[in-house]
Amino acid sequence: MAKAKGRRKEGGRGTEDRSLAEMRKRNDNKPGMHGWLLNAFAMALVGIAFLIPLIYTSQIDAVRSDICDNNTDSAHLNVQDFLDNFVCQYKPKDHVISKVDIPGYCHPKLQSIPQNRTQLVSNSQIFPSTTLFLLKRTIQWWRDAPYHSDGIEAGEHVMTLPRPLQIWDLDALRDRFIQQHFLGYTSDGLSKQIQEHIALHKETKNPLDSGAYLAVYLLRLLQSSPISCLAETNECRSKDSQDIELVPWTDIEQHSERIDLLRDYLNILPTYADRIPDSNNYNMHEHPITWSKQMLESLFPKHTHTYNLIVSYQTMVHSEYNALKVTSQEEFGAHVNYSEYIGMRINVISRAFSAIANEHNPGSSWNTVGSRPLSDELMSYTTSNFGAASKQTSGFKFRSMCPLLDMYNSHPNPNVIWRYDPLTSSYNILANNNTIPPNHEIIVSYGKYTDGHLFAKYGYVNGDGSSKSEVSLNIFHRILGDVGLSWQFSPLPFHLWNQQYGDGSVSANSTQLLDMQSKELLRYLMFDDGHKECIQFKNNDNSLTKQQELKLLKFQHLKRLANLSLAWIVRLPARFPNAQPYSDKSAVQGDESRVGIDAKRILSICRLLSLTVDDVGGEAMDYLRNSLSHGYSPTSPETHFQVEMHGSTLEYRSLMCVARLSDIAFRRYGQYSQPNGNPEPKDRNGREWTAWYIRDGEMRLLSILRQTAMNEANKIKHQNQLKDEIIFMRERPCSLEYSLPILNLDAST
Ligand SMILES: *[C@@H]1O[C@H](CO)[C@@H](O)[C@H](O)[C@H]1NC(C)=O
Ligand SMILES: *[C@@H]1O[C@H](CO)[C@@H](O)[C@H](O)[C@H]1NC(C)=O
Ligand SMILES: *[C@@H]1O[C@H](CO)[C@@H](O)[C@H](O)[C@H]1NC(C)=O
Ligand SMILES: *[C@@H]1O[C@H](CO)[C@@H](O)[C@H](O)[C@H]1NC(C)=O
Ligand SMILES: *[C@@H]1O[C@H](CO)[C@@H](O)[C@H](O)[C@H]1NC(C)=O
Ligand SMILES: *[C@@H]1O[C@H](CO)[C@@H](O)[C@H](O)[C@H]1NC(C)=O
């Protein structure tokens, strides 16, 4: 698992912003021979190239069997065939005229490595071209890049993935089975929606992410037998209780052409069996979403950062499956078991790329009938990502399964960049700034993720210090709302953390969750730092002291911040941000002494917690009260009140508070947090090493944070000769009983 073998991701963001046109221009500007010379050269080449396959065939075969070793089983042959042909040899259907149906393309130097399920740059001087089609491509390439080097040159076109081979969540939402069984469509179209046929998460009544439907759609395509029932015969129809005709699971008439085209891709997707831990072998596709609680807790201690993230993913997938099953018991429930669903859902989570398209792009209207405006259409689907809160202006962000592109491994410093081209709805893959030398695998970037997030989502880490580490210091309360999955899934009804989302009522469970969270928040306030005496509330207090009033104000601020995950998160920059996917790990140089942690937000929270009535020139109470009246958005950190630095005593207590939170978080790692308690496993392959690597990053971050905060605090103490009395920090918290009445006071204000 350490080294990204066969793991893939979603290209969350396309950060590299060089346009395709620019890249093309660079190529055009290369010194080229005059046209006639070039043509003569190409003609000569045709002569030679025709002979090459004959002369070299045996040599190529030798190379292949050499690579394949004794693994030449049928699975590898399928993968080899897929890698060589599925995208590379795709030709448009000639009878359809469409801007979108364009040929697939692969650079002639790409060589398939089936046992590693990827492609690399061939070191061979000749290309394994055995067909006339490849030959044409080869000649084309020679003409376009007359001064080619051994590898693939900077900016060169590496691969094109046309739209007909991509599978979008939008395609899934247009599937009639999905529309009728999960989106509440009636069989005659759009007129009215039937509530019982709308799939919703049970606890929150939130809609499902479109990725869930993409998984269902892929399962439908995969499970269809070549001879499926004919749409017009009655056996194909099932009726629900209200006698409404519904498309049955087995009716895939709507997609008969697609299925044939896509079958080879569907067949090589990893299955559930590929994703589960295998006690005897290293399973290269293993994914933590399939882990048991027991396995998870043994590797990532409870309530540590990555643990929480993995649990969130697991909860989401589980809740989705239940929602789908409840809504379509007879059809979906009867045909898809939980294992099959997880298996396919992981493929969507870890292999879909984003495609940003609006209604003018052909990719969004491709392969559909009717002409509803795209935004109306998307609004009519009950999903979490295309719902009311997603008023995108520039385009909608679709999830797209990307054959071949999803076979390339990922690294923050990739050797190719991928671009979605909205004009043709194809993905173009271009060599990055440097030549890709022979024998180098094609490496893309799925986006910049922290190690823990990368692992929870894709099931791998690069393990070379190229990604950031991250922890969250919400050690006393659970963050509701955004649990790291944004609008994909939340334990809270969406409308509770974003008012734009519907109106809905608050269920008993949500109320209970919120009440619990409020009580948890009190634990941050129990220390009463800076006060020799605990601040005690009584239930029948008529008037509040200044200290009590300040504490109540703190609580009210804390509630606003409670669900804002970014306010609690601290990140450690990548240790070796320039690590290259091909470098020798031990040789990577980095400056260990120069670590910059951005702890601004957590320090601001600690300043809030540490305020006393004497701070801010004795105006602490007004300071908090005034800022409470300012509007803010629950989801946007910029709009939140931040406590600035106010004098050295407050700063001292705040820094010590950061040290305290880090310390408690550190101790969550239990046995691993003991001296020498987290030794590096010898075998770098597999989950033990990966978990060690992630834990190590998180614990390193926490101890650096603790140490830095303590050092800074002591510096302030000595520089300002602060007396122990005013910088009093409590070792153990005051009793919770003293603070509990705050809940009632808050409710009555
Ligand atoms: C496969 O190759 C390995 C070493 O490359 C060898 O040890 C093993 O015996 C081979 N297995 C078979 C079935 O040939
Ligand atoms: C396939 O991956 C393994 C493990 O990372 C690596 O050692 C091997 O060199 C790769 N094979 C090829 C042909 O690149
Ligand atoms: C409320 O949550 C509990 C677990 O926290 C669960 O067992 C129960 O089914 C939920 N109730 C409803 C009505 O969803
Ligand atoms: C789920 O279905 C698959 C395919 O039909 C089957 O192989 C597997 O055993 C089933 N799993 C469970 C847990 O029933
Ligand atoms: C690649 O080139 C672009 C602009 O030409 C530059 O912004 C970028 O930093 C370069 N990337 C690397 C890895 O050198
Ligand atoms: C969490 O967020 C929701 C919605 O913004 C809010 O109603 C709730 O009060 C917050 N949590 C706490 C403890 O207040």
Q: Which two tokens stand for residue 170?
A: 């939008």
308-328 mean pLDDT = 97
CB of 118 closer than 8 Å to CB of 190? no
3-state helix, strand, coil in the chain (%, to 5): 45, 10, 45
Helix (H) or strand (E) holding 594: none
Answer yes or no: is the C-beta of 509 below 6 A from any ligand 4 atom.
Answer: no
Helix (H) or strand (E) holding 514: helix 508-522
Q: How confident is the model at residue 377 (pLDDT cuts 50, 70, 90)?
A: confident
* Best mutation site among 509, 512, 513, 514 for ligand 3 pocket (most ligand atoms within 8 Å of CB): 509
User: How long, in residues, is the chain?
Assistant: 749
Sequence-distant (≥ 6) Cβ neighbours of residue 564 within 8 angstroms: 479, 481, 482, 634, 635, 637, 640
How does DSSP assign 443-496, residue by residue? EE------HHHHHHHHS----SS-S-EEEE---SSPPPS-SSSGGG--SS-HHH
Distance between CA atoms of residues 180 and 198, nearest Å = 8
Answer yes or no: is the C-beta of 113 below 6 A from any ligand 2 atom.
Answer: yes
Task: Provide the b/e sequence for 15-49 (b: ≥16 CB within 10 Å).
Answer: eeeeeeeebeeebeeeeeeeeeeeeeeeeebeeeb
Nearest CA to ligand 4 atom 13: 339
Answer yes or no: is the C-beta of 7 below 6 A from any ligand 2 atom.
Answer: no
Q: Which pLDDT score, from 0 to 100, does residue 27 have?
A: 39
Question: From the CA of 73, which ligand is nearest?
Answer: 1
pLDDT at 148 exceeding the cut of 90: no
* Best mutation site among 477, 483, 497, 554 for ligand 6 pocket (most ligand atoms within 8 Å of CB): 497
Answer yes or no: is the C-beta of 335 below 6 A from any ligand 4 atom.
Answer: no
pLDDT at 81 exceeding the cut of 80: yes
Q: Which pLDDT score, from 0 to 100, does residue 145 have?
A: 54
CA distances from 362 to 180, 254, 480 (A): 25, 20, 39
Nearest CA to ligand 1 atom 13: 70
Sequence-distant (≥ 6) Cβ neighbours of residue 560 within 8 angstroms: 632, 634, 640, 641
Sequence-distant (≥ 6) Cβ neighbours of residue 642 within 8 angstroms: 600, 601, 604
Give me ligand 6 centre to Cα 741, in Å: 18
Distance between CA atoms of residues 338 and 195, nearest Å = 24
Answer yes or no: is the C-beta of 340 below 6 A from any ligand 4 atom.
Answer: yes
Give me ligand 3 centre to Cα 303, in Å: 21
| Ligand 1 atom nearest residue 71's Cα | 1
CB of 539 closer than 8 Å to CB of 458? no
Q: Which range scores top for mean pLDDT: 124-138, 274-288, 705-719? A: 705-719
Question: From the CA of 445, which ligand is nearest?
Answer: 5
- pLDDT one-digit tens code per residue, 442-494: 999 988 899 999 999 999 999 888 899 999 999 999 988 888 898 899 988 88
Nearest CA to ligand 2 atom 6: 116
Geometric angle at alpha carbon 691, from 685 and 694, rounded to 5°: 115
Answer yes or no: is the C-beta of 514 below 6 A from any ligand 6 atom.
Answer: yes
pLDDT at 144 exceeding the cut of 90: no
336-352 mean pLDDT = 97
Give me ligand 6 centre to Cα 512, in Å: 12
Answer yes or no: is the C-beta of 339 below 6 A from any ligand 4 atom.
Answer: yes
206-212 mean pLDDT = 95
Distance between CA atoms of residues 272 and 693, nearest Å = 25
> What is the maximal distance between C-alpha atoms in the chain?
100
Distance between CA atoms of residues 45 and 413, nearest Å = 36
Answer yes or no: is the C-beta of 334 below 6 A from any ligand 4 atom.
Answer: no
Q: Which bin fits 439, alpha (ψ -120 to 50), beta or left (φ > 0)?
A: left
Answer yes or no: is the C-beta of 562 below 6 A from any ligand 6 atom.
Answer: yes
Give me ligand 6 centre to Cα 244, in Å: 41
Q: How confident is the model at residue 8 (pLDDT cuts 50, 70, 90)?
A: very low
Nearest CA to ligand 3 atom 9: 203
Give me ligand 3 centre to Cα 491, in Å: 12
Closest CA to 110 of 156, 144, 143, 68: 156
Give me ligand 1 centre to Cα 77, in Å: 18
Helix (H) or strand (E) holding 113: strand 110-113
CB of 493 closer than 8 Å to CB of 634? no
Q: Which pLDDT score, from 0 to 100, does residue 97 have?
A: 60
Residue 730 CB coordination number (10 Å): 15
CB of 704 closer than 8 Å to CB of 665? no
Lowest mean pLDDT among 106-115, 161-170, 393-402, 588-597: 588-597
Give me ligand 3 centre to Cα 737, in Å: 28
CA distances from 514 to 500, 633, 641 (A): 19, 18, 22
* Best mutation site among 505, 555, 559, 749 for ligand 6 pocket (most ligand atoms within 8 Å of CB): 559
* Best mutation site among 76, 115, 116, 436 for ligand 2 pocket (most ligand atoms within 8 Å of CB): 116
Sequence-distant (≥ 6) Cβ neighbours of residue 520 within 8 angstroms: 476, 477, 478
CA distances from 103 to 92, 100, 106, 112, 575 (A): 6, 9, 10, 19, 42
- pLDDT one-digit tens code per residue, 710-735: 999 999 999 988 887 778 888 899 99
Question: From the CA of 67, which ligand is nearest?
Answer: 2
669-684 mean pLDDT = 90
Burial bucket for residue 66 (CB in 10 Å: 0-12, 13-18, 19+):
exposed
| Ligand 2 atom nearest residue 113's Cα | 13
Residue type at position 430: L
| Ligand 1 atom nearest residue 70's Cα | 1
CA distances from 721 to 121, 265, 659 (A): 65, 70, 20
Q: Which pLDDT score, from 0 to 100, does residue 394 have?
A: 72
Answer yes or no: is the C-beta of 69 below 6 A from any ligand 1 atom.
Answer: yes
Distance between CA atoms of residues 216 and 616, nearest Å = 57
Instruction: Tell me the average pLDDT of the chain.
Output: 81
Q: Which pLDDT score, from 0 to 100, does residue 137 have?
A: 63
Distance between CA atoms of residues 524 and 175, nearest Å = 50
The number of angstroms, rounded, from the C-alpha of 382 to the middle of its chain's C-alpha atoms is: 22
Give me ligand 2 centre to Cα 67, in Å: 10
Answer yes or no: is the C-beta of 359 below 6 A from any ligand 4 atom.
Answer: no
> Coil, strand or helix: which one is 353?
strand
First to last CA, the chain: 53
> Coil, strand or helix: which one is 23?
helix
What pTM was computed for the model?
0.83
Nearest CA to ligand 3 atom 14: 203
Task: Provide the b/e sequence for 622-651 (b: ≥16 CB within 10 Å).
Answer: ebbeebeeeebebbeeeebbbbeebebbbb
Residue 383 per-residue DSSP state: B
Nearest CA to ligand 4 atom 1: 337
Question: From the CA of 516, which ligand is nearest?
Answer: 6
Answer yes or no: is the C-beta of 571 below 6 A from any ligand 2 atom.
Answer: no
